[in-house]
Amino acid sequence: MHTTTAAQKLLRQLADLLDAIKPVDFSRPCENLGGGTIGQHVRHTLEFFLCLESGCRSGVVNYDRREHDKTMEVNKDVAADMARRVMNFLTDIPLDRSLRLETCYHLDRETFESIDTNARRELVYNIEHGVHHMAIMRIGIREVAPYIPLDEDFGVAASTIRYSRSAANVLSE
């Protein structure tokens, strides 16, 4: 599967989740998530993709300076609009576009270091980051919205799926 196709599949799974979840459950605190919500994880995941979109325009990607848009984490319709926006962006993402990634690990000041990267590499990062948060969402969905049928690969890395299939084939031989 091509990188862009993998990202679009991930976003389609998020959009399907947003279609299925009740608004009250979208923003309901989950005990198993330390009081976090499905909406917070959706917002966080989508904002990373939005940072990449912005970075493809400006030439600089900075995930630390994302919006933290509270509306997106409490209103599933706003989140769904953002998911569609990102899916549209991905239809024309310039994968070979050179970018600079700004990142900061200081806790007491914003002193960013700058790293050469490109849109393809950042899209790969966004996919892996998204899968990670979707795995966390899966735990929360079981608690607050067990009525939602999730794809078996929701929140599961492609490498894990391949490994599980090969292990199952070995056992069946």
Query: Domains in the chain, please, with CATH?
Result: 3-172 (1.20.120.450)
* Count of CA atoms in the C-beta half-sphere (13 A) of 33: 23
Helix (H) or strand (E) holding 134: helix 119-144
Query: How many CB atoms within 10 Å of residue 65?
Result: 14
Measured CA to CA, the distance from residue 127 to residue 108 in angstroms comes to 30
pLDDT in the model for residue 138: 97
> Which pLDDT band, with edges at 50, 70 and 90, does 168 fall under?
low
Query: Would the pLDDT of 170 be above 80?
Result: no
Mean pLDDT along residues 79-108: 94
Q: How confident is the model at residue 1 (pLDDT cuts 50, 70, 90)?
A: low
